[in-house]
Structure 1
Amino acid sequence: MKCFATIIFVLAVLFATAQGRGDSVGTIKPTRQTGVHDPVMIKEGSTYYLFCTGFGISVFSSTDLQNWKKEKPVFATAPQWAVDAVPGYRGHTWAPDISYYNGKYYLYYSVSTFGKNGSCIGVAVNKTLNPSSPDFKWEDLGKVIQSFPGKDQWNAIDPNLIVDEKNVPWLSFGSFWSGLKLVKLNSDLKTLAQPEQVVSIAARTKGSGTDSSGGNAIEAPFIFKKGEYYYLFASWDYCCRGEKSNYKVVVGRSKQVTGPYLDKNSVTMTSNGGTLVLEGDAKEWFGAGHNAVYHVDDKDYIVYHGYDALDKGRSKLLINELAWDKEGWPTLKK
């Protein structure tokens, strides 16, 4: 992660390009031409909504999963608490996560700067995602959790909410450092349950994985419940490098939300374990990752971004239907 600090300017340009900041609100593009980073998807009524990394949190909508309309961002201006909490943050907000719970939509988001773990996760709520509804209004509830350089060996970004079989809410998060974490929330979904306990659910050590550049490069946890298992998806190696990106998605599973999560070879994800789900091929996509999984209309979709090998490594939206093999492991449906 330290190497990121040396290329802050390059990454900032890549992120700005990925979000298609030149596209005005109302612009419609096909899926594989929609510039996004770290997408998550949900459906309300007949409309799908994407929330992505971007200034104020980027938003797109679609009725067919094929053509995506750019909507206004969630925040017109950066939340003041976040500006005060994280030096250098000016509104470019990362890796949101969207869920519907007890009559409201909960949008978690990451506040950080490149290469540092002085970070926060915040949450905002809305009664509806339809911007034409009189009930549409984002209410920011502020900070949920924060990490501090020199104190914490984890990074409070890349949130994902999972509610277990006992209706207990948990928030997974993490990027680089000591890996991916899980913490229990109170029923208000905005405060940490006490006593606070941060559980490790996945990690990598230097030299592990399928690429020597991986180091401890792991981030973007997403927990999805199917059948008797919780599936932990994570992204290995590096995003945000355009044609040099080597992002990939791996998975492990557990019958308990707190783990341990094991891959197909029964290796724990806290010990470099992870079964490959998808990666770039250098022909269409250089790297692909930071996924979400969404069940709707009796189908499971995996939503992620890839670095387009036919367009100078620009980050684009990818959506695939998931299939499950006879042993219950996820694969991309052919």
Structure 2
Amino acid sequence: MALLPTTAQAAQTHPDPRPLTGQEIIHDPTVARLKSGGYVAYSTGGIIGARLSADGRHWDDAGNAFAEPPAWWYEYNDKADPWAPDLSYRDGRYWLYYAVSSWGSNHSAIGVATSPSGRPGTWTDHGKVFSSERTDSWNAIDPAIVRADGRLWMSFGSYWTGIRMVELDPVTGKTVPGAAVHHLATRPDAPYAVEGPYIVKHGRHYYLFASYDACCSGVNSTYKIKVGRSASATGPYVDSAGTPMLNGGGDLVLEGHGRFIGTGGQSVFRDKGKDWLAYHYYDAEDDGTPKLGLNRLSWTKDGWPKVS
């Protein structure tokens, strides 16, 4: 019997981000449409760097979330350099979670601040939410908040066995005393390069987006975004083939293509009834400068996210 020729498989293609103008430089963005109108983005860099936009297309530098770093940050970083903020709105206030750490260490902490408007310069810091030490098998950075069935949860994690989750007290915004640390995603190969979780509810499932491989190396970055889903916020999360994210599973959502290298540090925000994926990429046509990427996030008939 003659063998049939193998059908060629085209490489997955990815859409380019929305064209933007103004101050596009950013890293680990969290974006929201403010109730007062317009958009804000916070990011790694500065004292939580801020950008403002009237239309989501032209962005202006808006300084920093804080005028001065809270004193407790210096315990975790001698330059008081915060990372990877997460912006959310709850109970009449905006909540800004962020991490303080140093490169290659899991002596790290996550803090929280609140604001009535969500705008830079209006934040009041409330101190430490959760921390990790060198004896822990997780790293308390890259926080992201999700509400589920009347409870409040914070996912976090980077390398050190991957993505974790703890329950928060919705009144204080801090960890519930004695809260269990749930394990959501990891990889079978050291150094377990998965980080930057973000969980969103769509339909009857929770979707865990995470950044895989290496960031922060300009055009040599290999960051990419993968996703799994679960009927419960605490997992277990699996990809579309049924592979658990605790066993290295995850469907590819977006990776580097063309000038847009190392896509990751992602978050999801809702605007006028539509979901958007926000992330950074390293611009191969601008010496690998990290810039803001925005893509519409649509959903397939079988309930999986797709960038467009």
Q: Same fold (TM over 0.5)?
A: yes
Q: Give 1:238's match in structure 2, choosing from 214, 228, 231.
A: 214
Deviations 1:104-127 (A, max 9, x none): 100001100001000000000011
Distance 2:25 2:242 in 1: 37
Quote the residue 2:276 is aligned against.
301
Paired residues of 2:224 and 2:252 also in contact (CA < 8 A): yes
Quote the residue 1:56 is aligned against.
47
> Residue 35 of structure 1: SS of its match in structure 2?
coil
Aligned pair 1:226/2:202, yes or no? yes
Shift of 1:130: 4.1
Q: Give 1:95's match in structure 2, choosing from 78, 84, 95.
A: 84
Distance 2:238 2:182 in 1: 15
Aligned pair 1:78/2:61, yes or no? no
Paired residues of 2:263 and 2:279 also in contact (CA < 8 A): yes
Paired residues of 1:38 and 1:304 also in contact (CA < 8 A): yes
Paired residues of 1:89 and 1:112 also in contact (CA < 8 A): no
Residues 33/311 of structure 1: CA separation in 2 closer, same or farther (3 Å cut): farther
Superposed, 1:109-258 pairs within 5 Å as 109-130=98-119, 137-149=122-134, 151-164=135-148, 166-206=149-189, 215-258=191-234
Aligned pair 1:274/2:250, yes or no? yes
Gaps of 5+ in 2: 1-18
CA-atom RMSD in angstroms: 1.5
Shift of 1:90: 1.5
Residues 89/205 of structure 1: CA separation in 2 closer, same or farther (3 Å cut): farther
Paired residues of 1:223 and 1:233 also in contact (CA < 8 A): yes
Q: Give 2:27's match in structure 1, choosing from 16, 26, 37.
A: 37
Aligned pair 1:331/2:297, yes or no? no
Distance 2:284 2:206 in 1: 33
Distance 2:21 2:251 in 1: 27
Distance 1:204 1:76 in 2: 39
Deviations 1:131-159 (A, max 9, x none): 6xxxx73110000001001x101100000
Report the TM-score, using the length of structure 1 for normalisation. Answer: 0.84
Quote the residue 2:96 is aligned against.
107
Higher share in helix: 1
Paired residues of 1:31 and 1:318 also in contact (CA < 8 A): no
Q: Which amino acid aligns with 1:121?
A: I
Q: Which amino acid aligns with 1:163?
A: R
Paired residues of 1:77 and 1:91 also in contact (CA < 8 A): no
Shift of 1:313: 1.2
Deviations 1:211-247 (A, max 9, x none): xxxx411100000011101000000000000111010
Paired residues of 1:285 and 1:313 also in contact (CA < 8 A): no
Residues 231/189 of structure 1: CA separation in 2 closer, same or farther (3 Å cut): farther
Aligned pair 1:318/2:307, yes or no? no
Number of residue-to-residue matches in the alignment: 289
Report the TM-score, using the length of structure 2 for normalisation. Answer: 0.90
Paired residues of 1:169 and 1:189 also in contact (CA < 8 A): no
Distance 1:243 1:296 in 2: 31
